[in-house]
Amino acid sequence: MEKKILVILEQRNGKIKKSSFEALTVAQNLASSLGFSVDAALIGNEVENLSEVFSYCSCKLVHFTHADLQLYSSSAYKKIAVEYASQQGCEIILLSNTSLGKDLAPRVAIGLKAGLVSDCISLEQKENQLFAVRPIYAGKALQEVKLNSEVKVFSLRPNVFKAVQLETKANEKISTVVEENPDLSNRVKQIIRSEGKLDVAEADIIVSGGRGVKGPEHFNLIEGLAEQLGAAVGASRAVVDAGWRPHEDQVGQTGKTVSPSLYVACGISGAIQHLAGMSSSKYIVAINKDKDAPIFTVADYGIAGDLFEILPILTEEIKKLKS
């Protein structure tokens, strides 16, 4: 039997997530170097544009449907993934390290008696062995690991692996499995969306504010710049602990570790636990009064000045550029 990689795709609101396309690209590359074939499993009910999968990976797509599977259920999703992977003898399982993937991957691993490496930022094969690299201590160090189990599960950090479209779209092979009586003993009843809010973990650009913003009432400066850039608003631990911003905005070791293309740090001095969470951003801009602040040691471009003077002008300049 041909050896297989299984990619567990993720949909939210019926749309396949970008990080799933990243995982498909990783699968495509591994499959061609190892001589494996790829299956992709998508659990949900109504999902748009299934055929987009074949732009990234030559694979067989299995769509598991049931009205109650549109929202995540750890018990049902696990059962479906484990049963499918064992029937098909899949040896490598890939997921994205999103909030759903983080929850699901360990369950799938136990179900398959497999090892799991979470939050991989690199996954490569050398002499038919897979080597993964993952950040530890929120990115203060990196760990290289391999799995000693027959079946191997890897969850991939979003925004790190690039989703690359195939030169020619692969043949569409889709099969639909209608689930009967999914196990809903552990299930999401409802999703509460933060209204129109872009999450720092998923944003391509982040504008963050720290203690230098001087109070929650001045975060409109940060929000204004973020709006012009189509960015998410982030925050340092100090301002979250002071209650100026909600915890989900926190970037750093006890918040979120992020790698956007652009990170704009405003009034953030750059405590080590903050730097750990954002220094893998592709470009970093720092605006801070103190020219000796540690944030400037990781910034590509900096202005050592008063953010209250600089931000309104920066926002205006970006507005001009965009129009």
Partner 1 sequence: MKIAVCVSHVPDTATRIKIAADQKSIDPAGVSFVLNPYDEYAVEEALKTKEKFGGEVVVLSVGGDRVKETIRKSLAMGVDEGVHLKTDEALDSFAIAQALADEIKSLGSELVFMGKQSVDYDSGMVGQLTAELLSFNSISVCVTFNLDGNTITAEREIEGGKEIVETSLPCIITAQKGLNEPRYASLKGIMAAKKKVIQEKPVASTPALVENLQLKMPTAKNPGRILGTDSSAVPELVKLLHEEAKVI
Pair 44, 70: CB distance under 8 Å: yes
Q: How far is the CB of 176 from partner 1 (least distance, A)?
A: 26
For residue 83, the number of C-alpha atoms closer than 13 Å in the C-beta half-sphere is 12
Q: Which two tokens stand for residue 166?
A: 């195939």
For 146, residues 6+ apart whose C-beta sits below 8 A from its C-beta are: 129, 130, 131, 132
Nearer to partner 1, 57 or 307 (CB): 307
Q: How far is the CB of 60 from partner 1 (least distance, A)?
A: 27
Nearer to partner 1, 26 or 153 (CB): 153
Q: How far is the CB of 190 from partner 1 (least distance, A)?
A: 5
Nearer to partner 1, 52 or 199 (CB): 199
Which DSSP helix (H) or strand (E) runs through 274?
Answer: helix 272-278
Nearer to partner 1, 179 or 202 (CB): 202
Long-range contacts of 244-248, Cβ-Cβ distance < 8 Å, separation of 24 or more: 244/213, 244/215, 244/216, 244/219, 245/209, 245/216, 245/219, 248/194, 248/199, 248/200
Q: How far is the CB of 178 from partner 1 (least distance, A)?
A: 24
Pair 207, 225: CB distance under 8 Å: yes
Nearer to partner 1, 178 or 321 (CB): 321
Q: How far is the CB of 41 from partner 1 (least distance, A)?
A: 19
Nearer to partner 1, 24 or 229 (CB): 229
Listed residue (30, 15, 18, 12) closest to 158, CA to CA:
18
**Placement of tokens 């504008």 in the chain:** 207
Q: How far is the CB of 38 from partner 1 (least distance, A)?
A: 24
Alpha carbon distance 313, 167 (integer Å) = 43
Q: Which two tokens stand for residue 270?
A: 């750059």
Q: How far is the CB of 114 from partner 1 (least distance, A)?
A: 8
For 124, residues 6+ apart whose C-beta sits below 8 A from its C-beta are: 130, 131
Which DSSP helix (H) or strand (E) runs through 265?
Answer: strand 262-266
Nearer to partner 1, 60 or 267 (CB): 267
